[in-house]
Structure 1
Amino acid sequence: MTKVDILAFGVHPDDVELGCSGTIIASVQQGKKVAIVDLTQGELGTRGTVETRYKEAADAARIMGVDWRENLKMEDGFFQINEANIRKVITAIRKYQPEIILCNALEDRHPDHGRSSQLVEEAAFMSGLRKIETSLDGVAQDAWRPKYVFHYIQDRYLKPDFVFDISAHMQQKIAAVQAYTTQFYTTQTADDEPQTYISTPDFLETVKARALMLGKRIGVRYAEGYLTKKMVGVTDFNSFVQETT
């Protein structure tokens, strides 16, 4: 068991980087422990290979400063919300025992995103049921339920329930995204593979623009947005971000 504060799930390697890496970077720098779990190997991606995605994911993890990242090797594009996959996610949750889970958007352009979101949310609840038995390396795991499951915003605009200030970490976020040199535009982007929706320079500009727009809503430079089905409580008004203008 490796106890963390935050466990971030992405159905594809690079989902976490695009959706919540600014939050992860900020949290790591605040002293929090963070782990990442990718559900699939992104094997259906037009560009790159499974092998390059593993290298890119490891490079991005180092940029973000996380200590643990693993892949559950579900089937990209065809994974189902079934007992076998729910148990895989439960095992990961019980392994890391997070207080907070970050996961894919509730619904999005890519159908895997919404389906992954539902899978992780169901597993997060069922992970707290002690009569569901799981083991890791032959050792029985204790039941564990995180306090919150937050869904990051991806391609489609969804009105966030709250936003996280990442102003000091935007440059590092973009560096983590660009670690996927086969997927996104960089000076190293291969010219012999087909262009995709995400491989053009304009796509990264939309990532920055989204963060600018969400930051503007709370009077900061950049922010990432989240949705939650569970009400978030406040115990200290001083934790609110103050507008600077």
Structure 2
Amino acid sequence: MKLDILAIGVHPDDVELGCSGTIIKEIKRGKKAGILDLTQGELGTRGTVETRYTEAATAAAIMGVTVRENLKMRDGFFANDEAHQLLLIRAIRKYQPDIILANSLDDRHPDHGRAGKLIADSAFLAGLVKIVTEDETGQPQERWRPKYILHYIQDKLHEPDLIIDISEVFEQKMLSVEAYTTQFYQSNGDNGGPQTYISTPDFRDSVVARARMLGKRIGVKYGEGYNSQKSLGISSLDALIQVET
């Protein structure tokens, strides 16, 4: 299944918080996008593995992605080693994305930075012909390397290399976030469980404030920011011109 965009998050809800606006916007433009969750979020204080799967499926439907898959790595204990790289290499070769949206390389949660590096390393290795992998049917996979890996900004604010205008889809983005009813504050009341860093109304407010701040940087209402280890290029200056509405 060839995808234009593969968004990868170490925990279910990382993608929704970090880059769902971009995904929704690109899908509306006719792109095919999918999500790959590395873990089941089983160490999360609130909710269960089962509720996280239900919430992830609801969020995926809100975003309109073509596919969502979970690699079932161990939450908190996965490593950037050969075994985990091979899992990701198979997935990257399976979906052949042109662009990967990945966890931040440095963030408050140690899983985020470790996942960001794992994703970047695996994407490079997926392009090496001498690394041999097979698909689910036992057929050899072709090598594949995405053109770009963009690391979405998460809790820790990094100076973005790229900001994408998500103003027109911001409400839909927040609906995908709010699909995780066990994890985040709900405007109609909290669903119970121990209070966590992300379950307070202040955290939701910070998500909105971050999007407003990034949007302001490029003269729009809401934005999502990305970092890239590869220089970003454009084909002409026309790409810098924004059409005013």
Please say whether Structure 1 and Structure 2 have the same fold, judged by a TM-score greater than 0.5. Answer: yes
Residue of structure 2 in register with 1:146 after alignment: 146
Give the AA of the match of 1:3.
K
Residue of structure 2 in register with 1:32 after alignment: 31
Given that 1:220 and 1:244 are in contact with CA atoms closer than 8 Å, whether structure 2 keeps it comes out as: no
Structure 1 distance, partners of 2:212, 2:243, is 14
Give the AA of the match of 2:146.
P
Residue of structure 2 in register with 1:172 after alignment: 172
Q: How far 1:244 sits from its partner (Å)? A: 5.6
Deviations along 1:109-166, whole A, 9 cap, x unmatched? 0000000000000000000001101111111100000000110000011000010000
Structure 2 distance, partners of 1:61, 1:188, is 23
SS, match of residue 230 in structure 1: coil
Give me the identity figure in percent: 61
Quick check: 1:61 aligned with 2:64? no
Structure 2 distance, partners of 1:114, 1:241, is 33
Residue of structure 2 in register with 1:163 after alignment: 163
Structure 2 distance, partners of 1:240, 1:65, is 28
Structure 1 distance, partners of 2:139, 2:199, is 43
| TM-score (structure 1 length as normaliser) | 0.97
Q: 1:81 to 1:158 in 2, by over 3 A?
A: same
Structure 2 distance, partners of 1:112, 1:97, is 24
Q: Tell me the matched-pair count.
A: 243
Q: How far 1:238 sits from its partner (Å)? A: 2.3
Residue of structure 1 in register with 2:190 after alignment: 189
Residue of structure 1 in register with 2:198 after alignment: 198
Structure 1 unaligned blocks of 5 or more? none
Give the AA of the match of 1:158.
H
Q: How far 1:237 sits from its partner (Å)? A: 2.1
SS, match of residue 7 in structure 1: strand
Given that 1:219 and 1:243 are in contact with CA atoms closer than 8 Å, whether structure 2 keeps it comes out as: no
Q: 1:25 to 1:155 in 2, by over 3 A?
A: same
Residue of structure 2 in register with 1:51 after alignment: 50
Q: 1:23 to 1:64 in 2, by over 3 A?
A: same
Given that 1:23 and 1:164 are in contact with CA atoms closer than 8 Å, whether structure 2 keeps it comes out as: yes
Q: How far 1:243 sits from its partner (Å)? A: 8.4
Structure 1 distance, partners of 2:62, 2:38, is 20
How much is the aligned-residue C-alpha RMSD, in angstroms? 1.3
Give the AA of the match of 2:78.
F
| TM-score (structure 2 length as normaliser) | 0.97
Structure 1 distance, partners of 2:239, 2:233, is 12
Structure 1 distance, partners of 2:68, 2:190, is 24
Residue of structure 1 in register with 2:215 after alignment: 215
Q: How far 1:213 sits from its partner (Å)? A: 0.4
Q: 1:153 to 1:241 in 2, by over 3 A?
A: farther
SS, match of residue 215 in structure 2: helix
Deviations along 1:57-90, whole A, 9 cap, x unmatched? 0000000000100000000001011111000000
Structure 1 distance, partners of 2:85, 2:95, is 16
Moved more, 34-43 or 131-140: 131-140
